[in-house]
Structure 1
Amino acid sequence: MLDLADELNRWAERGRDFAVATVVGVGGSAPRPPGAALAVDGRGTAIGSVSGGCVEAAVYDLCAQALQDGKTVREHFGYSAEDAFAVGLTCGGTLEVLVTPVRADAPGRQVFAAALSAAARGEAAALARVARGPAELLGRALLIHPDGSYGGGLGGPPELDRTAVGESRALLDAGRTGTFQVSASGSRCETGAEAGAGELTLFVESSVPPPRMIVFGAIDFAAALVRTAKFLGYHVTVCDARPVFATRARFPEADDIVVDWPHRYLQRTATDARTVLCVLTHDAKFDVPLLETALRLPVAFVGAMGSRRTHEDRNDKLREAGLTESELSRLHSPIGLDLGARTPEETALSIAAEIVAARQGGTGLPLTGSRTPIHRAADGRAAGGPGAPAVA
């Protein structure tokens, strides 16, 4: 639901009734991850997608029905080789979809409206819903904030809400969407276990501010990378010590432009485990002090541009500065995948591709002829495969 927050928030503010179908579980080669959503309003307008087209018509009908009767339902979609005309996924995967009506007379509308409003403003919040359990509790929701305050309720004893808040905050802190099981009385169930009698499956969507990408070096390649990073949803900062190059005219798409020595700016700015650092200066007087700081930060990705000779010289200087081999192993250099890139735009694509592969656990190899999974879970494992996060 929260992946459609901008438009759904406008619908809610205008008082529109709507229903949202949210993917709450996947198996095999499913085309969309948990959290993907399709919404339908009272006028029949549809936004979003849960499957890339395979089951959209059937899900649309479920939303229309939910708008009429006000009932939350859970539906399973899979692949049936016996019936070629059955509604299902041609890729062979499975989807579990929770369809929730958000009508003016729905008791949980305020919770959903508040969650959509927070997500649309870019605030951190988690929406926890009962995705499996007694019919009277299905779809009940909590809105959880990072400080532990919350709104709404799951319809059980207070301990149920408190347990749900604690588990949901852990997912929110990690910026993850996922599920967990809890007993109706509020005790936590075994991780990854299928919900049994008297147990509830809670689905948690986390909305967090966009991850940061900091691009060091105000060059043409940086301008192309900024455009690509914005397309991928990053909050992008460009930093360069030279004011003549670090200008709004050269980087109109950047969220922030900073004129400062790169290492000095990195030492004073906020970073986290989702932050990506791209060093495009390939000038030792900037690179070495910058990377000395960057490679000791718990960020998601550190990459640096330069030839292989530049890379070796830079590594020697970083060793002299005291960096360990373990710290140096975190450096992606020369930055980018081997795409045969020539232009700034092609180079930006190769850099972005390596960042996606590094963050999602991809190999960077062609899918043609390989046996690597096409769809991966949030931790980089095959979606629905061994060791993947539990999605009921």
Structure 2
Amino acid sequence: MQDIAEQLLAWHSSGRAFAVATVVGVSGSAPRDPGAALAVDSLGEAIGSVSGGCVEGAVYSLCEEAMVSGRPVLEHFGYSDEDAFAVGLTCGGLLDVFVHPIVPGADPGLDAGITYIASGTPVALARVIDGPPGLLGATVAVTADTHHGSLSPAPSTVAALERGLVAEARAMLDAGRTGRLVLGLDGRPCDDEDQGTVTVFVESYVPAPRMIVFGAIDFAAAVVKIGKFLGYHVTVCDARPVFATARRFPEADQVVVDWPHRYLDTQLDRIDGRTVLCVLTHDAKFDIPLLERALRLPVGYVGAMGSRRTHRDREARLREVGLTDPELARLHSPIGLDLGARTPEETAVSIAAEIIASRRGGGCLPLAANDGPIHHDLDRPAEEPEAETPHAA
């Protein structure tokens, strides 16, 4: 619900009751990932989306019903053979949606979680979506060093469950993961859901992933724009102050004048496996010391611009400074997919496409070239063959 957090905080601060419907399970060619949310307030205003339109009407009604009953509900939506445009997903996917009524001030865990999310503070919001009736909807907001809310007024026998939930949610927060967690009443993770387990949906809210664009050239401006569109916090870095200016890159979150490798050395505590490094300088005096460091860091993507001749020269120089074959294999060079791009904007699309494919496990082929799953994230288990789908990824 991070994309609607600002509006939720406004409703919450005004004391207005609302219900949040969250995607907590996905299978097949479902259009939204776990964590996507639609919210409806007591005046009937709706924000967000859980399916891109397929089941929004039905989920809206569930939110209204939940606000009246005060009870959360877990609902399953799938493909409808009789009426694909009624309550069902025409794309052939399956969605589990948890609908949670919220009254400001009534749940310390939810209250704290909404505040943390809106402020940008890293937090894992853990909600019980299946299990004993007394626990359904119980919420704990977990940060790196504390937590808010509890599983009370459930029996004291769930103390171990709560400790286990907090520990597991904190581990998921550290990894930036969102997903289901099945625990026994003793707080230990379980493989299967049954009558003796509790299913928790943990949403990790962490700062936006970083994209650092090295080289303040005209292509960089287009990459900055598409990076922002994809949700990255974008920094432009160049050692030349005449080019590295906020005026030239108004959409960048930050413009830094420094030697690329020296700036990267100052950012080691702010990069992680989601970080993207785009090296657009194609100048050896900048590239080599930068890439020598970048290819040894646990970042998600490193790409470097240049011709094939530049790439061969760059690779030889990197070998000379000691990079190994596995380290060099991490370099995407020349940067981007072969789209026939020529303009800065087309090149930025090519680069963005390669970043997405690297992150999501895409094969970089036209969807029409095979009949396999459309959505095949690296961290999502393989699904059964999909029903036919009228939409593209």
When the two structures are superposed, what TM-score results if normalisation uses the length of structure 1? Answer: 0.93
Which secondary structure does the structure 1 equivalent of 2:149 belong to? strand
Task: Give matches, 1:364-383, under 5 Å.
Answer: 364-377=364-377, 379=379, 382=382
Q: Distance in 1 between matches of 2:201 and 2:28?
A: 19
Classify 1:236/1:222 alpha carbon distance in 2 versus 1 (closer, same or farther; 3 Å). Answer: same
Please state if 1:160 is matched with 2:161: yes
Task: Give matches, 1:232-381, under 5 Å.
Answer: 232-269=230-267, 270-377=270-377, 379=379
Q: Distance in 1 between matches of 2:224 and 2:83?
A: 48
Classify 1:22/1:361 alpha carbon distance in 2 versus 1 (closer, same or farther; 3 Å). Answer: same
Please state if 1:183 is matched with 2:184: yes
Q: Distance in 1 between matches of 2:373 and 2:212?
A: 30
Q: Distance in 2 between matches of 1:275 and 1:321?
A: 24
Which secondary structure does the structure 2 equivalent of 1:113 belong to? helix
Once the two structures are overlaid, the 10-residue window that deviates more, 303-312 or 119-128, is 119-128
What amino acid is the match of 1:311? H
- Percent identity over the alignment is 63
What amino acid is the match of 1:375? H
Q: Any runs of at least 4 consecutive aligned residues in structure 1 with deviations exceeding 4 A, and if so which?
A: 82-86, 380-385
Once the two structures are overlaid, the 10-residue window that deviates more, 304-313 or 271-280, is 271-280
Is the CA contact 1:26–1:384 (under 8 Å) kept in the aligned structure 2? no
Q: Distance in 1 between matches of 2:367 and 2:226?
A: 22
* Per-residue CA distance 1:137-190 (angstroms, 9 max, x = gap): 11110000022x111012342211110011111211111111111123423323
| Structure 1 residue aligned with 2:96 | 96
Q: How many residues of Structure 1 are paired with residues of Structure 2 in the alignment?
A: 379
Is the CA contact 2:54–2:85 (under 8 Å) kept in the aligned structure 1? no
Please state if 1:81 is matched with 2:78: no
Which secondary structure does the structure 2 equivalent of 1:23 belong to? strand
**Aligned to 1:228, which of 226, 242, 251?**
226
**Aligned to 1:122, which of 115, 120, 123?**
120
Task: Give matches, 1:26-105, under 5 Å.
Answer: 26-82=26-82, 87-104=87-104
Classify 1:384/1:17 alpha carbon distance in 2 versus 1 (closer, same or farther; 3 Å). Answer: farther
What amino acid is the match of 1:168? A
Q: What is the deviation of 1:129?
A: 0.5
Which secondary structure does the structure 2 equivalent of 1:97 belong to? strand
| Structure 1 residue aligned with 2:213 | 215
Q: Distance in 1 between matches of 2:235 and 2:378?
A: 25
Q: Distance in 1 between matches of 2:236 and 2:84?
A: 53
| Structure 1 residue aligned with 2:391 | none
- Root mean square deviation of aligned Cα: 1.6
Q: Distance in 2 between matches of 1:121 and 1:301?
A: 28
Structure 1 unaligned regions, length at least 5: 386-392
Is the CA contact 1:40–1:64 (under 8 Å) kept in the aligned structure 2? yes
Please state if 1:18 is matched with 2:23: no
Which secondary structure does the structure 2 equivalent of 1:368 belong to? helix
Structure 2 unaligned regions, length at least 5: 386-393
Q: Distance in 1 between matches of 2:40 and 2:258?
A: 48
When the two structures are superposed, what TM-score results if normalisation uses the length of structure 2? Answer: 0.93
Q: Distance in 1 between matches of 2:284 and 2:135?
A: 61
Classify 1:323/1:12 alpha carbon distance in 2 versus 1 (closer, same or farther; 3 Å). Answer: same
Classify 1:71/1:120 alpha carbon distance in 2 versus 1 (closer, same or farther; 3 Å). Answer: same
Q: Distance in 1 between matches of 2:384 and 2:65?
A: 29
Q: What is the deviation of 1:296?
A: 0.7
Q: Distance in 1 between matches of 2:8 and 2:87?
A: 27
